[in-house]
Structure 1
């Protein structure tokens, strides 16, 4: 399928699909005229890429993860290799650390706001 068809099938813009190609996340073949041609399996791959982006992963990390994916014949659990599971646990831990840092930052801001409010009453 051509890039426009892939875009329509996945709801992902042509610009994003080109970016995925630049990042090595998608590898279309080319016609003699230079047009991109994607296999039908590219639809599932683009959807997976979108899910990984939504999970907060960056394109370089997604590029590391995609080779660890199996074909989705048995559902999501059949797609994960042991290496992928380790990488995803690391990503979840990174996100948990970020959340904890943000909660601490919010607590500090809350203290400053409360202090400023107290000063305004005097």
Structure 2
């Protein structure tokens, strides 16, 4: 399963490029199986509130995180949400994507998903 949060549509687009069941994070979403998290970065490197709340309930099932950001804000904050989530939940930061990323990013994410999430 892929769980994703999208604000501008970039993350929704990324999730659509990965073959697998995907669900958008909404308030109260509860999962009972392993998932890959795809999220955006809020502010200057922050975890979006709805993602933080989702992880409080579902973090035990999270196998990795992919983060979208905008490198124009500076590399010191680029993809900061992904780094913070990976550190807090002791999971791999699979990929940092600038905005929507590229095909090579999708290939790497797909490979991780098949090996670490759906097994």
Pairwise same-fold verdict (TM > 0.5): no
| Structure with the greater alpha carbon radius of gyration | 1
**TM-score, normalising length: structure 2:** 0.29
Higher-helix-fraction structure: 1
Higher-strand-fraction structure: 2
Q: Higher RCO, 1 or 2 (CA under 8 Å, sep at least 6)?
A: 2
**TM-score, normalising length: structure 1:** 0.28
